[in-house]
Structure 1
Amino acid sequence: MINKILGTALSRILNAIINLAVIILISRYIGREGYGIIGLVVVAISIIQIFVDLLGGGALIYFSPRKNQLALLVISYLWILIVLLLFAMAIYIFQDFSPDLFHRLIPPGEEKSVLVLAALNAFMLTHYNLLIGKGKIKQYNIVFVVQILSFISSLIYLLFVARHQDYTSYISALEISYGVGFALSTVFTIRYFNFGGNLHPGEIVKEMFSFGLISQIANGFHILNKRISFYFISSMAGLSSLGVYNAGVQLSEGLRLIGQSISLVQFSAISNSDDRIYAVSLTVKLMKLSVLLTFIGLVVLLVIPVGAYEYLFTKEFVGIKYIILALSPGVLALSANTIFSHYFSGLGNPKISLWANIVGFAFTITFALVLIPVLGYLGAALTASVSYSSTVVYQYFVFKKQTGVMFRQWLPEKKDFIDFKIIILTLINDKNIEDEH
């Protein structure tokens, strides 16, 4: 378990370092408006992925150890093609029907890029989810690391060798990295999976849709909670302000990678076990670790002076430090949210996360309409923190009611710090062994 968490965490830490380098490159060579366009493109891809995951996503992870993998793969592939076709038709109709509103959602000229990226991302994530579901965390981490390294190397080449110093370099680098991730994950999927046995596709589709519908409605609200402010800022303050906010979000929410790394292993373990007591104990322990590590990361970001942020990201992005400060409570809440969500989903009960995200969405709309017109991107950051916190409060009370776990059991104990020390020592020892070889 520790090795899986460490492997996933290390790959995510590398991703966070690369993400920081990307933010610096964008701020210096692409600028605020370009970052705003990038933000809208990425949000559009995320929205398409919500619909793809109706027969994918968490359902694939949950059913991988339980159903025929060939059937899961074929069903997911066909569903991806259907979703992409429907979105292509919707884009074609919508941009003619209301071009002004359409281009507030998808930047002009980027329609094809959105569809291509959405396709590559969907096929790649399908393989990722199958690997995670079968407990092939090491293989998943290898593909993930190669993917992010291909992204940063492509971006550097396009910016400094090809001299394409605009947002299109980011889009092209993303296409290359998604393609690499898809190709390599295909190799691992073919290598490690048993595609024999009874298919029963009709039965599997029904079960996946039943599981995936609730899960993805929940995920849809979660993404809206995180990203609907992008559209408010773009409409009310313009792409430049959105670019600054996007940079601040990328920096602070980069700490989400800690909770995501831990929760991936948690979800895989719970999905492959029928022991409810083990699931509860594991969730409490990993929650403490997730929140503690995220808190440490936030402290590091907050002690960095404003001048250092200006030096790294230029004065165009002067508001980044204040965005991080406003987002801090929300980022801490997200580190708990991802553990709660994967606990409920791992037990096949995603409805809890659905209602939690609906609560968060209600807070998002209310506070966004009040704060963003007055405070701009700072209002969006405060809105996000309120939304994420309300979601976690709801999940906490449901978890408490179902399990009987009291608040004091969530407080860090001496044993928790001993476990944390063991993880660090394991990491150091593994590194020393690698150095000796």
Structure 2
Amino acid sequence: MKQKTILTTFISRFLILILNFGLVIYSTNMWGSGGKGVISLVIADLTIIGFFSNIFVGSSVVYFASKYKTEQIFLYAYLWSVLVGIFIPVIFSFIRPMEYLYHLIGLSLLTSLLTANIGLFVGQQNIRMFNLYTILQQVVHIVFIVAVIYIVKITSVKAYFIAQIAGYALLFLISAFQLLRHCDISNISFSKKIRNTMFDYGWKIQLSTFLQFLNNRLSFYFLEYFKGIISVGIFSIGIAFSEAIWTVSRSLSLVLYSDLVNSKNSNDAIGKTKVSLKISFFITLLFIIVLLVLPAQFYVLIFGKDFQETKKITLLLSPGILAVAVSNVVGYYFAGMNKLRILNVKSMIGLAFTIVSSFYVIPRWGISGACIVTSVSYCLSSALLFWRFYQITEFRIRDFIISGTEFQILWGKLWRK
């Protein structure tokens, strides 16, 4: 992994972190804890739908980008995106009432199509374009929110979703033009072998990701059932902090993943994974310390009086945030090596703990209980992944500590940048 690639990815993730925080602050002040709860549940539904679409769209596109022709990959990715983006939200609407069904259909369709394009950039090791589009998703969303609220004059929480749909549509069209202008239409063809291979890889890795998502989000639904939608909005701020911090480790992991699927050297893959572990551990720890140093009143000032528990929520979640940030790197190592069974096992263990403990803890301790359950679950599943990784390599404490020399190199590059 080139140091320049890691550095530019870190800088782009830091910008996304700032933009995420800005969006969270604005949405909580604009629509309150109730509106934030609605947004959180719609995004949770969108993420669930994403697991179905990502069978042909997410890691499958990245993994097979260097193995098959672009035209053949996109044929299945685009068709699958349309089918899943329309039909899965409709199926969800029969399970429970959905006020924002049409917005969810638009979001799921466009998110999947855009993810396919970005995945191909990663698979082609074009990390610059990957970084650019992940930043633009946040920037364009914010710009369109401002336009919808202050120009179109839609001030309800619906504005959040309309802006996101418009932004994703624009980015999809631009990225599709960049990619498809280099494609040869004559190469577009149906291949049973490619379809089956992509599906086999995709469903296995998405099963693990889906189980991990349930582990991350199940507390939302338990909180809504036992304590109401406002408690979901309050708790979601802590989860938003978690996921904002994880953008750094996930992006470093994608850079690693891009290298691994194009590499044949297993020793080199382990070395690159350990470098990513160090960087992810150091950066995540730094962000957590910053969040915990801020006084509780700061969060009230930023998010409003409903969010006075935010510092406590962050404190309770912090062990799990750090564990997952680092284990994300190990998870992408196993995905890049096509060793998917351990990912499913670790996700099932975390999910089983979340389900069993939530029935007892959340009704009694509410938001604090949800934080404890979530954090312990994160630590359990991450510990299993670390144990398996260090069965195949030697464990050293320095795998998690940036040396003085490495720090000077990183600082020097940052300063020059």
Name the CA shift for 1:310/1:72 in 2 (closer, same or farther; >3 Å): same
Structure 2 residue 219 is matched with structure 1 residue 219: no
Q: 1:81 is matched by which residue type in structure 2?
A: V
Cα distance in 2 for partners of 1:92, 1:280 equals: 45
- Native 8 Å contact 2:282 2:402 kept in 1: no
Whether contact under 8 Å (1:68, 1:196) holds in the other structure is no
CA 1:413–1:420 in structure 2 vs 1: closer, same or farther (change >3 Å)? closer
Any conservation in 2 of the 1:27–1:317 contact (CA below 8 Å)?
no
Shift of 1:264: 1.2
Cα distance, 1:427–1:194 mapped onto 2, change above 3 Å: farther
Seen in structure 2, the aligned counterparts of structure 1 residues 74 and 411 have a Cα distance that, compared at 3 Å, is closer
Which residue among 257, 261, 282 is the counterpart of 1:267?
257
Q: Tell me the alpha carbon deviations over residues 62-83 of structure 1, each in whole angstroms, 9 at most, x when there is no partner.
A: 1101111111100111112232
**8 Å contact kept, 2:72–2:187:** no
Residue equivalent to 1:390: 380
SS in 2 for 1:135: coil
RMSD over aligned Cα atoms: 1.9
Deviation at 1:233, TM superposition (A): 1.0
Cα distance, 1:360 vs. partner?
Answer: 1.0
Q: Report the counterpart of residue 62 of structure 2 in structure 1.
A: 61
SS at match of 2:103: helix
> 1:207 maps to what in 2?
197
- Give the 3 Å change call, closer, same or farther, for CA 335–378 of structure 1 in structure 2: same
Q: Say if 2:278 is the partner of 1:291.
A: no
| Matched position secondary structure for 1:164 | coil
| Residue type of the alignment partner of 2:385 | Q
Deviations 1:88-122 (A, max 9, x none): 5424543xxxxxxx13xxxx421111111000100
1:319 is aligned, of 309, 317, 323, to 309
Residue 412 (structure 2) pairs with residue 422 (structure 1): no
Give the fraction of aligned pairs with identical amino acids, expressed as a percent: 26
Provide the C-alpha distance between the structure 1 equivalents of 2:242 and 2:346, rounded to a whole number of angstroms: 22
Greater shift, 163-172 or 285-294, is seen at 163-172
Question: Is 1:69–1:195's contact at 8 Å kept on the other side of the alignment?
Answer: no
- Contact 2:223 2:232 (8 Å CA) reproduced: yes
Which residue of 389, 397, 412 maps to 1:408?
397
Q: Identify if the C-alpha distance between structure 1 residues 375 and 323 changes in structure 2 by more than 3 Å, giving closer, same or farther.
A: same
CA contact (8 A) 2:253 2:332 kept: yes
Compute the TM-score of the two structures, normalised by the length of structure 1.
0.91
SS at structure 2 position matched to 1:31: helix
Q: Which amino acid aligns with 1:76?
A: A
Moved more, 389-398 or 1-10: 1-10
Q: Residues 307 and 92 of structure 1: is their aligned pair in 2 closer, same or farther, counting only changes over 3 Å?
A: closer
Deviation at 1:154, TM superposition (A): 1.5
Q: Give the letter aligned to residue 414 of structure 2.
A: L
CA displacement at 1:381 relative to structure 2:
1.5
Residues 411 and 291 of structure 1: is their aligned pair in 2 closer, same or farther, counting only changes over 3 Å?
A: closer
Q: Is the 8 A contact 2:211 2:344 kept in 1?
A: yes
1:25 pairs with 2:26? yes
Residue aligning to 2:47: 46
Cα distance between partner residues in 1 of 2:124 and 2:185: 13
- Given the alignment, which residue of 110, 123, 148 partners 2:100? 110
* Structure-1 separation of matches of 2:6 and 2:393: 27
TM-score by length of 2: 0.95
Q: Structure 1 unaligned segments of length 5 or more: list them.
A: 95-101, 431-437
1:224 alignment partner AA: L
- Stretches of structure 2 that go unaligned for 5 or more consecutive residues are none
Within a 5 Å distance, the mapping from 1:349-364 to structure 2 comes to 349-364=339-354
User: 2:281–2:400: 8 Å Cα contact kept in structure 1?
Assistant: no
Partner SS for 1:254: helix
In the alignment, what sits opposite 1:129? Answer: 119
| Structure 1 residues 305 and 204: alpha-carbon distance in aligned structure 2, compared to 1, 3 A threshold | same
SS of the counterpart of 2:133? helix
In the alignment, the residues of structure 1 paired with residue 38 and residue 374 of structure 2 have an alpha-carbon distance, to the nearest angstrom, of 20
Question: C-alpha offsets along residues 260-299 of structure 1, whole Å, 9 cap, x if unaligned?
Answer: 1211110001111010000001111110110111001100
Cα deviation code 1:210-230 (max 9, x no counterpart):
111110100100110111111
Deviations 1:228-271 (A, max 9, x none): 11111111111111111112211233110110121111000111
